[in-house]
Amino acid sequence: MQEIIQAISVAAVRIKKAIEFSDTGYSEHTNKTGDTQLKLDIASDLIIEEEFSKVPSVKTVISEEKDEAKLLHEEGRYIVGYDPLDGSSLIDVNLAVGSIFGIYENGMSGSDLICAVYVVYGPRVEMVVAWSKVTLYRLNESGKFIKIKEIKLNEKGKLNATGATQKGWAAYHKKLIDEIFADGYRLRYSGGMVPDLHQILLKGGGLFSYPSTTDALKGKLRMVFEVFPFAFVFEKAGGGAIDGKRRILELKPSHLHDTTPCFFGSNEEIKRVLNEYAKH
Ligand code: AHM
Ligand code: MG
């Protein structure tokens, strides 16, 4: 596992450089979900693939930007599912973005995940590794990731990050979100799930939701590349992750690019969602 984390740190430094200095324009390609890819999405995907191709324990890679899984080492043990540059359209307005990685063994269901890593490219570059614990690392001047601390969520937080277009929300979802705000929670939502979830994790807790909407019944966020890895991080940090009714890590995608509604948070907020959603 260490060699995979090491490859991610090398890729992160290369991607940070690409974000800072290379072309932020669109390419002429679309990904499996139908998004037009930025040149940076493609470049980041290739950087990561290149670094993993040097790691014999990585059998297969599959990413948000690839139509299909790619075999790297026949004898390898792990499958890595990743979103190379999540929130990439925010680079234009100079907001933080991230890379998300799920390291799976045997299959690509939530229960096959054994480690999750994400990198935030903000004013600083930080990497969070969830394995038995959740550890925060920060890139230093010499290009090395230094351990900062373990991340542990409080039982209840103060932040509310509400995703998706409100006009597509179910009435009961709107009621739940309104009640949470009425209880004093503050809105925090940049539109980049990596910095938005990172903020909740580091500020002690709260709720991030990306629900089902009238035009996207299964939400927007992809299980294998985005939702499972963060569900793993939140559970290991002492919080929870659900699709409204079920634990995210019990879900099984039928296709690699499947999406799911999702809620990540500290325990009190997750209980609150479960109670409200159980009525519908
Ligand atoms: P992307 O993978 O195409 O960048 O999309 C994922 C992003 C997430 O980072 C973020 O939480 C979500 O899309 C925001 O969507 P919305 O603007 O609908 O709230
Ligand atoms: Mg993404």
pLDDT computed for residue 39 by the predictor = 84
Pocket test for ligand 1, best of 198, 210, 260 (most atoms within 8 A of CB): 210
- Report residue 18's pLDDT band, with 50, 70 and 90 as the boundaries: very high
- Report residue 28's pLDDT band, with 50, 70 and 90 as the boundaries: confident
pLDDT tens-digit series, residues 113-124: 999 999 999 999
Name the residue with the closest Cα to ligand 1, atom 14: 191
What span, in angstroms and rounded, lies between the C-alpha atoms of 232 and 180?
24
Q: 222: Cβ below 6 Å to ligand 1?
A: no
What span, in angstroms and rounded, lies between the C-alpha atoms of 190 and 197?
10
CATH node for 2-150? 3.30.540.10
Mean pLDDT of 224-245: 98
Q: Where are the domains of the chain?
A: 2-150, 159-277
pLDDT tens-digit series, residues 80-116: 999 999 998 899 899 999 999 999 999 999 999 999 9
Residue 37 pLDDT more than 90?
A: no
| Domain 159-277 falls under CATH 3.40.190.80 | yes
Q: For residue 192, which atom of ligand 1 is closest to its CA?
A: 9
- Residue 122, both tokens: 């903000």
Residue 74 pLDDT more than 90?
A: yes
Instruction: Measure Cα distances from 185 to 47, 109, 239, 263 in Å.
Output: 39, 33, 17, 16
Q: 220: Cβ below 6 Å to ligand 1?
A: yes
Residue 264 pLDDT more than 90?
A: yes
pLDDT computed for residue 38 by the predictor = 74
Least confident span in 20-29, 74-83, 115-124: 20-29
Mean pLDDT of 216-235: 97
pLDDT computed for residue 261 by the predictor = 98
Mean pLDDT of 201-228: 96
Nearest to 24 by CA among 95, 120, 92: 92
What are φ and ψ of residue 141, in 5° steps?
Answer: -60, -25
Pocket test for ligand 1, best of 29, 89, 220, 223 (most atoms within 8 A of CB): 220
Mean pLDDT of 68-89: 95
Pocket test for ligand 1, best of 221, 225, 259, 262 (most atoms within 8 A of CB): 221
pLDDT computed for residue 155 by the predictor = 98
pLDDT tens-digit series, residues 177-205: 999 999 999 999 999 999 999 999 999 89
What span, in angstroms and rounded, lies between the C-alpha atoms of 46 and 40?
10
Which one-letter DSSP state was computed for residue 254? S
- Residue 202, both tokens: 């580091």
Q: Which ligand is nearest to the CA of 89?
A: 1
What are φ and ψ of residue 47, in 5° steps?
Answer: -60, -45
Nearest to 151 by CA among 139, 138, 125, 133: 133
Q: How many CB atoms lie within 10 A of CB 2?
A: 7
What span, in angstroms and rounded, lies between the C-alpha atoms of 275 and 1?
38
Strands annotated E in the chain: 26-30, 36-38, 58-63, 70-71, 78-86, 97-105, 113-121, 125-130, 134-139, 145-150, 159-162, 186-187, 206-210, 240-242, 262-265
